Chains A and B, each alone.
Chain A
C-alpha cells in the first residue's frame, strides 16, 4: 500500500497482554459476551444430531472449492454478469480500495453507507475512501459505535464486544449531546434513527459477502440487524466487497453453511436476516440498486492457497474460535494488534499482515485445542500455529537463549545418563530456593512462572529410582 512508507514495528503480544489483563471493564464486557455465545453454540450444536456430518460436508465443499478455485471463480463471475452485475478483480488491498473509489468517483457519489465486512477492515477501505473525500458511514451498530469512538473492532462478529453498555451510553451522550440511559434498547433506538437518515441520503452501499454461489452468481449476506439489507437495497449503487475464498459451488450448498454459521457465531439456530442478492434491480422490480458491482479480492489469498496454510481459507469468520479461546476471553481482540484477532487471527495476521511484524502471535496460544474443537470448518488451528513456530525456528527467528537451551536440552534428553544427572541437578539447584517443597521465586528466564504461582521442587526419589520389577 502506497501510504505505508516504512514497515510497522513488531507487535509484542506478551507485553500487550500485561496491559489488557489490568483492564477490569474489558474483562467484564468480554466475559459476559463470549460466555453467552460460547455456551449458546455448545448447546445448539449438541442439540443438532447431524452437526458432525454437517461440519464434514462443509469441509468437503470448501476443500473442493479451494482445489478448483480458478474454475469456480470464473463461473461465479460469469453468473454475476449474466444477472446484470459487474465483476472487478483486485490483486491487492490497494487495488480493491482504488476500485471502489473509482466506481464512486465516476458516479459522483458523496455519501457511502457500509455494512459490516471484515475484508474492508483488512484493506483499510474506510481510511482510503475518506482520504479521497468520500463520507463513509458504518451502519452495523457495533461498527457505528466504533466509528463514533474512533476505535477499532476487537471481534470478527461482534466488533464492539470490548465495550460495556455503560461506556456506549456515555460515548453517545458526550458525542451527540443526548442523555441516554445504559439500556441496549434505548441505545439501539437512538442509533437507528440517526442511521435511517444516512441510508436515505446515501449514493452508494458497500456490503460484504458471507458466501457467493458460483452457479447463480448470488451473493449471500447473513446479518442480525437488517442494516445489511438496507445497504444492499436502498442506495442506487451497491458494491459487494469480498475475498475470493467466499465462493460455494451451488446455491443449494448454502443450507449446510447457514446451519453451521449462525449456531457457531452467536448460538442462534438462524440469523434474523439472510439476504440472497442476484444482480441489480430488474425491469419492473420495486427496489434494489440500479447497479451492482462485485469486487473479488485476492490480497494474499492465492499465496496462502499454495501454502501449508490452505485450510485457513475454509474459515467462514464465525468467531467461535474466539469465543471459546481462554486467551481471547481474557485479553480481548485489541491485544492481538491486528485486524483478525483470536486463534484464527493468530494464523491469519502473520499470513496477511506480515510474518515478522506479527511473529509473536503464533505463540499467543497454550495449544489447548478448544478452537479446533469449536471450529465448524474443522480448521486445525493448533497445527497451523505449531507449523508457524517451526518455520520461525527454522529461519533462526527464535530467541538465542531458547535456541541454545533447546540444544542443551535435546542433548540431555538423548542420553538417559545426562537426563538422570540433569534431574538431580535440578533438585540440588532448586533446594536452596525452596521451602516446604515449593519455590516462590525462580531466576530468569523462569522468573515469569513465579510471578503469580509457586513452582514445585522435584521429588527426592524419581520414578525410575523407585520402580521395582
Chain B
C-alpha cells in the first residue's frame, strides 16, 4: 500500500511535527510513503473567499501533483474536505478536470479517517498520562466523521478523559473568516478557550491545523499553559504527557 502524503501548507510551515508523527505511524504499519514535492496549498483560502479563478488554478496543480497516487492522506479534515467537496464544484464546467477531481476525491482521506476506514485501526496502545479533553473540528462533519478521533482519545492508556462542553461548536477559525470578521472569530476562539480551561484538562486534542493555531493562540493570549495537540503526535508516541 502506498500513501502520498498531503501535508497541507499550514502543517508544513507551522506544525511540521504533525506530519512527522503521521509518517512514523504509517511506517509502523508498513505503509510505503511518498511526499510529492510539488505540493503547496489546496486552494482553500481562495475558494472560501469566492476567488474561484485563483482557487481553480491552484487546485488544477494539485490534480497534477497527486496524479497516479493510490491514497492521499492529510492531517487536516479541512484540506481533505476541500479536495472532496470543493474541487468538483470548481471544475463543474470542465469534464476532464471534473473526472480527475472526482477520482482524487475518492482516494483522499483525513489521517484519522484513513486509520479507521483503510487500515482498520480503531483503538490504540499509545499512552497519555494526564487530563485530556477533545475538540471536534468542524470539517470532520463535512467528511462524515463522527466520534472516530474521540474514541481513539478515550482508548489511550493512562488517560483521564474529560469531555468538553460544546465540543462540536466551531472555534471560529474559518480561514479568511478570522481576518474578515476578526472580532467575532476572536470571540468564538476565546469562548472555546474558556470551555477548555473549565474542564481542568492539561491538554486538548485538536485535529486540524487551522483550529490548532486559533485555539492555541487564544489560550496563549490568556496565558494558560493548556497544550493543544494533534492526535497523531500522541498516537505516534511523540507526546505521552502534558
Decide whether A and B assemble into one complex: yes
Residues of A within 8 A of B (CB): 13-14, 17-18, 21, 326-327, 330-331, 362-370, 372-373, 383, 386, 388-394, 398, 402-403, 406-407, 409-410, 412-416, 419, 423, 426-427, 438, 440, 445-449, 451-456, 458-459, 461-467
Shortest beta-carbon distance from B172 to chain A in Å: 6
Give how many B residues have a beta carbon under 8 Å from the other chain's beta carbons: 69
Do residues B218 and A423 form an inter-chain contact, with CB atoms below 8 A? no
Do residues A393 and B189 form an inter-chain contact, with CB atoms below 8 A? no
Q: Please name all residues of chain B whose beta carbon is closer than 8 Å to the beta carbon of A368 when the two chains form the complex.
A: 138, 141, 170, 174
Do residues A453 and B174 form an inter-chain contact, with CB atoms below 8 A? no
**Cα-based distance from A135 to B152 in the complex (angstroms):** 63
**B23 in contact (CB, < 8 A):** yes
**B11 in contact (CB, < 8 A):** yes
- Per CB-CB distance, the 7 closest pairs between chain A and chain B, nearest first, are A448-B182, A366-B174, A389-B50, A452-B186, A368-B170, A453-B217, A410-B54
Which residues 206-225 in B have Cβ within 8 Å of A in the complex? 213-214, 216-218, 220-221
**Cα-based distance from A131 to B109 in the complex (angstroms):** 60
Name B43's closest neighbour in chain A (CB-CB): A413
Q: Please name all residues of chain A whose beta carbon is closer than 8 Å to the beta carbon of B11 when the two chains form the complex.
A: 463
Do residues B168 and A370 form an inter-chain contact, with CB atoms below 8 A? yes
**B20 in contact (CB, < 8 A):** yes
**B121 in contact (CB, < 8 A):** no
**Cα-based distance from A463 to B20 in the complex (angstroms):** 7
Do residues A453 and B214 form an inter-chain contact, with CB atoms below 8 A? yes
Do residues A406 and B45 form an inter-chain contact, with CB atoms below 8 A? yes
A interface, by DSSP: helix, strand, loop or mixed? helix
Query: Per a CB cutoff under 8 Å, which of B9, B183, B214 touches A21?
Result: B183
**Cα-based distance from A149 to B183 in the complex (angstroms):** 29
**B157 in contact (CB, < 8 A):** no
Q: Please name all residues of chain B whose beta carbon is closer than 8 Å to the beta carbon of A373 when the two chains form the complex.
A: 141
Q: Please name all residues of chain B whose beta carbon is closer than 8 Å to the beta carbon of A438 when the two chains form the complex.
A: 217, 220
Do residues B57 and A410 form an inter-chain contact, with CB atoms below 8 A? yes
With contacts A438-B220, A446-B179 taken as known, whether A416 is within 8 angstroms of B138 at the C-beta atoms is no
Shortest beta-carbon distance from B90 to chain A in Å: 9
Given contacts A367-B138, A389-B50, 19 further A-B contacts (CB under 8 A): A14-B181, A21-B183, A21-B184, A364-B181, A365-B174, A368-B138, A370-B141, A393-B49, A393-B52, A394-B52, A406-B49, A412-B40, A414-B61, A448-B186, A453-B218, A453-B221, A464-B12, A465-B16, A467-B19
Do residues A17 and B181 form an inter-chain contact, with CB atoms below 8 A? yes
Do residues A366 and B46 form an inter-chain contact, with CB atoms below 8 A? no
Q: Could you show 20 A-B contacts with beta carbons less than 8 Å apart?
A: A14-B181, A17-B187, A18-B183, A362-B50, A370-B169, A372-B141, A390-B52, A402-B49, A406-B51, A413-B41, A414-B61, A440-B221, A446-B179, A448-B183, A449-B186, A452-B186, A452-B187, A462-B12, A464-B12, A467-B5
**B117 in contact (CB, < 8 A):** no
Do residues A409 and B54 form an inter-chain contact, with CB atoms below 8 A? yes
Q: Please name all residues of chain A whose beta carbon is closer than 8 Å to the beta carbon of B177 when the two chains form the complex.
A: 363, 365-367
**B142 in contact (CB, < 8 A):** yes
Shortest beta-carbon distance from B163 to chain A in Å: 15
Do residues B138 and A330 form an inter-chain contact, with CB atoms below 8 A? no
Shortest beta-carbon distance from B171 to chain A in Å: 8
With contacts A449-B178, A456-B217, A461-B16 taken as known, whether A409 is within 8 angstroms of B40 at the C-beta atoms is no
Do residues A393 and B188 form an inter-chain contact, with CB atoms below 8 A? no
Do residues A326 and B54 form an inter-chain contact, with CB atoms below 8 A? no
